Amino acid sequence: MGILEKIRSSADVKALTMEEIGELCSEIRAFLIDNISRTGGHLASNLGVVELTVALHNVFDSEKDRIVFDVGHQCYVHKLLTGRAQGFSALRQKNGLAGFPKPSESKSDAFIAGHASNSVSAALGMARARTLSGEDYGVIAVIGDGALTGGLAYEGLNNAGQSGEAMIVVLNDNGMAIGTNVGGMARSLALQRTRPAYYRLKKNYRKVMLHIPGGKYVFSFTQNIKNSLKNAIFHCSMFEEMGFRYMGPVDGHDVKRLSYMLKTAKEYNEPVLLHVVTRKGRGYEDAEKHPEKYHGVSCFDPSCGVGDEKKTSFSEVFGQALCGEAEKDGRICAVTAAMEDGTGLGSFREKYPERFFDEGIAEGHCVTMAAGMAKQGMIPVFAVYSTFLQRAYDMLLHDVAILGLHVVLAVDRAGLVGSDGETHNGVFDVGFLRQVPGMTVYCPANYAELRSMLHRAIESSGPAAVRYPRGAEGEYRDEGKTLLRRGGDITIVSYGIMINEALKTADLLEKKGISAEVVKLDVIAPLDLRQVKASAERTGRAAVMEDCCEHGSVGEAIKAELSCPVMLFNTGRGFTPQATVQEQRELCGIDAVSAAERIIEERKT
């Protein structure tokens, strides 16, 4: 790859000429398209920040300075510039390169990322730590305009602007989150993008005046007049009101200009917001035209691009089922937090646009808004990934549960999710949803049960959640059964997609002469254990298989209720690293082979 293969650090980038940097950017784009087409991953977002990331490394030292990426799916270029190109062959795979920043992977990764809107707060904390410890390093938060739909971003900006700390917030403005941005901030930034000519004139005027005799005083005088007129006639930018020195907009694909602006921002030694305008998918035509298709991709042929073929999944079935429910009841509304396509709500938006609400990356707001809708007689269904629902725990308790409001949660990506790893595994919702007073939690094992349980949740009263996994259903396709298999030696209890592993475990045990009874739970809150208790009394031993963390698990509740020995199979007390879902199950010991082996060993003792 020529220049790229020689790059190991920020120092290597600084040693390049601008002509060589241009070649480096071209090589990076070719590398990304070639490698991500073979491994899958986040493509469009990384193609859009090539020049910006190169400029950051051209001005700062990532091993010393702290570059905090928001969300972090746009960190691939940063990883390439810090000596990790060889790891891209195993990107997002078991024991391979992470798809998000990971400090344990490299000292150049300043902070963990995976959820949106936290970068400014984390960067402010680092800047304050630097000041208190008397150290000297730069602090830069790189946040996209999509992340500015999340409330935490404004909490960070509100405090960072008034802090007086030397830090830079780079606003990567491409008009997109995963899909097109929504809300007032998107409109505000669109207006800001029309002002680059004004800022060029302002900069050139300052430069000229400061280099002529008496120009400094003339510049100061005219600046005061200009500021007075502007404040009287025009409203200054929100960022300036927060206390930032606002710079931009600047072309996010001009490395030379970006480097100059970053150096200038660094010299100000105060809170600076640099507004950078980029194009998501830059350099790959189809990704530029359809950035939402190339946000997260599976393997594809770069010469043909990503196809439109969709595989049936729990998300798609949910979307279809919700459309069917909405056709019968005009009170049903769909709410999403910037995840229209990911949660299968595209068809709902097309059929019922007036009842579809995309609120941006604002899960807490979505829950509370849904509570307001429910209080006034609507039936809101909030489709959200399990890992992102974590951000709305307080709202579930305070705004929904206390009043017993009928808000329905469609909890997508519940359980282990695979290659996105620690930040995206949906293994905590079982524990916190079961804590919410009045909450009913349904766990469909297949598409048919998803349809019927969604209907039950909508027809019920009070808060309800329907949790289902990423991807497709397994081999178990029956509906409405709870006692799936009779046996006399041990009771295996499970729910949701994990019922497939439970049945496979029973098959493996049978080959070893052990008769397992399999009980499926449809609802895990409130927990009705009458059938489980009756079965365990017959078999004298029980095992609970689930893909959630140990604390707050269903297994813990069952173990507390049964008098016989109970074995727990869950993801444990830590975080499960990236791998395929099956590999993750094996790592946690909740796959059929591992479960059968452990049950056999336990019976020997």
**Which sequence positions are flagged as catalytic?**
280, 363, 391
Residue 404: φ, ψ to 5°: 65, 40
Angle at 601 between CA 599 and CA 603, to 5 degrees: 70
H-helix segments, 346-474: 346-351, 363-375, 386-389, 393-395, 429-435, 447-459
Q: Which two tokens stand for residue 394?
A: 């307080």
Neighbours of 448 (CB within 10 A): 15
Q: Which of 83, 28, 19, 86 is nearest to 54 (CA)?
A: 28
Q: Which two tokens stand for residue 326?
A: 């909405």
Conformation bin of residue 461: beta by default, left when phi > 0, alpha when psi is -120 to 50:
beta
Q: Which of 324, 384, 334, 382 is nearest to 355 (CA)?
A: 334
Buried b / exposed e across 514-553, counting CB within 10 Å, b at 16+?
bebbbbbbbebbeeebeebbebbeebebbbbbbbbbbebb
Asked if residue 441 lies in contact with residue 465, where contact means CB atoms within 8 angstroms, the answer is yes
d(CA 156, CA 123): 9
DSSP label at residue 305: B
Asked if residue 261 lies in contact with residue 168, where contact means CB atoms within 8 angstroms, the answer is no
Residue 594: φ, ψ to 5°: -65, -40
d(CA 272, CA 274): 6
